[in-house]
Amino acid sequence: MSENHVPVLFDEIMEQAAELAAECGELSWALDATFGRGGHTRGLLERHPRLKVIALDQDPSAIAYGKETFATEIAAGRLTLVAANFESLASVRHLCPDGFDFILFDLGVSSPQLDSPERGFSFYNQGPLDMRMDPSIKRTAADVIREASEEELVQIFRELGEVERPYKVVRAIAADRKLKPFVDTVQLSGLIERVDGWAKKGFHPATQYFMALRLFVNRELEVIEAALPVAVESLRPGGRMAVITFHSLEDRIVKQFFRAAEGVAGDAVRRKAFKPTFGEVEKNSRARSAKLRVFRRYVAGESKSPKNKYAHLIGKTADDQGDEE
């Protein structure tokens, strides 16, 4: 499984790091906020011989894989693995007090997670209705389906799944769970398929519902919103932050933050997002919805006057942010 893992937008990420090195000199420190199977991290380590990487991941299987596969790099002091959600980014800043040259976020669920039926992310593979990226999270997707009111389910599916009319599916869930609890993925995807049908050719009717549950269980959007200001503050002057997203809700948060932070801490490398080439999508269909946005932190003298709602967050730690209204 891991041997076949293909990092999305790999060439574009390597190009951004190379441009940064050309501008500012040899890279010293990078943060991979979403280690996964370490494809991007390996590329950075191979291309920048003096680079050290701190890598975060909340999934214990990713950390275990990294310890085994990157044992040489860990022993050499070039890679430090931290079992944590990037929500805890502020807690690793002391490891690089002068700031990171490069920070990478590869958001969403990873291919190994999707391909593991026991994790419950895929509606194609039968497995427990789980969807937790961090197994220590108490509430699973099955718990949400069992415990949430009809009104709450409608809100989850509309706001996080962007399902326009989830009412029939929600009513069917409410009726079926009285007879038998939802415990596996196929049970739920089968109900959605039965009620909604295949309205879009080639687009499984359960896609948006499963995405909504995953986002809700893992609090993904609120974690992204909290992490971005801390990440920008963790960059050294001139450093770059690269963020890969896979759906409109993630991308909207990133795009709006980048635009809002302009004039405060830095600016986007370019307005339009980088997208995978046709060749990459042919080789890896999961890359088709990916977008990459890159933010560059100002060097001394470049800052402009604050003009936005994020201005009060730049320069504060996660603890400081918790005090804001």
pLDDT in tens, the chain (325 residues): 344 567 999 999 999 999 999 999 999 999 999 999 999 999 999 999 999 999 999 999 999 999 999 999 999 999 999 999 999 999 999 999 899 999 999 998 888 888 888 898 888 889 999 999 999 999 999 999 999 999 999 999 999 999 999 999 999 999 999 999 999 999 999 999 999 887 666 678 999 999 999 999 999 999 999 999 999 999 999 999 999 999 999 999 999 999 999 888 899 999 999 999 999 999 988 899 999 999 999 987 666 554 444 444 554 433 443 333 3
pLDDT value of position 86: 95
Domains of the chain: 2-111+220-321 (3.40.50.150), 129-218 (1.10.150.170)
What is the predicted pLDDT for the residue at 319? 40
Tokens of 120: 């419950």
* Nearest alpha carbon to residue 17 among 169, 238, 166: 238
Q: Is the pTM of this model over 0.75?
A: yes
pLDDT number for residue 304: 59
Question: How far is 293 from 243, CA to CA, in rounded Å?
Answer: 5
CA dihedral over 133, 83, 100, 316, signed as positive or negative: positive
